[in-house]
């Protein structure tokens, strides 16, 4: 499968949204949730949709999304504008629940589609790596031993990448244990996002 298989990004997105590769393993059935536009300068890579996002079909349409948008200092209009922000999780469909929460993202999504999608997003300048799975995929051997260590070393990956913890309300204890995150990383992230959003507006 190559980029020549699809004449443009719209055709590729239609193929992704019609994907049924994992259907037998998905308790609520397939519903790939993502957004992308060729002019997007910011890419958000999370884990996989939760049950609420599966129901609405809108990425980050939950309390985690509210916190992520606050970290970025963007409103919903900007966040859901695919010409500015692409949202491509490591797994596109809700994977179901396990003993400790949602199951990990299915590997098939990245194996089948991720490189094809990234190849169609030539203007991405900032990628937010939300959680361990995104950091493992994009940072590889550069990732530290733990998520906290990786996020603390965010300057090593900036300005191209910003590793983030998951913004779930369940992660509030993590944020309390690591006050430097909101004191140091979040202001830098907001400035970086503001730069890319402003740059996009000037071009438009």
Q: pLDDT tens string for the chain (204 positions)? A: 444 589 999 999 999 999 999 999 999 999 999 999 999 999 999 999 999 999 999 999 999 999 999 999 999 999 999 999 999 999 999 999 988 889 999 999 999 999 999 999 999 999 999 999 999 999 999 999 999 999 999 999 999 999 999 999 999 999 999 999 999 999 999 999 999 986 666 665
CB 22 within 8 A of CB 93: yes
CATH code that applies to domain 3-203: 3.40.470.10
**pTM for the predicted model, two decimal places:** 0.94
Residue 5: Cβ within 10 Å count: 10
């Amino acid at each position: 499968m190559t980029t020549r298989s699809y004449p443009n990004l719209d055709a590729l997105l239609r193929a992704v949204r019609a994907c049924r590769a994992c259907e037998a393993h998905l308790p609520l059935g397939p519903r790939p949730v993502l957004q992308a536009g060729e002019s997007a300068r910011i890419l958000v890579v999370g884990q996989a949709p939760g049950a609420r996002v599966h129901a609405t079909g809108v990425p980050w349409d939950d309390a985690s999304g509210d916190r992520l948008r606050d970290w970025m200092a963007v409103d919903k209009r900007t966040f859901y504008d695919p010409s500015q922000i692409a949202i491509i999780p490591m797994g596109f469909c809700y994977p179901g629940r396990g003993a400790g929460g949602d199951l990990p993202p299915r590997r098939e999504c990245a194996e089948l589609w991720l490189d094809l999608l990234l190849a169609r997003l030539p203007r991405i300048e900032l990628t937010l790596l939300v959680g361990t799975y995104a950091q493992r995929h994009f940072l590889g051997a550069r990732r530290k031993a733990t998520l906290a260590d990786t996020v603390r070393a965010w300057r090593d990956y900036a300005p191209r990448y910003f590793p983030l913890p998951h913004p779930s309300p369940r992660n509030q204890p993590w944020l309390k244990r690591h006050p430097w995150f909101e004191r140091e990383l979040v202001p830098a992230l907001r400035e970086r996002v503001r730069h890319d959003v402003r740059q996009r507006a000037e071009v438009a």
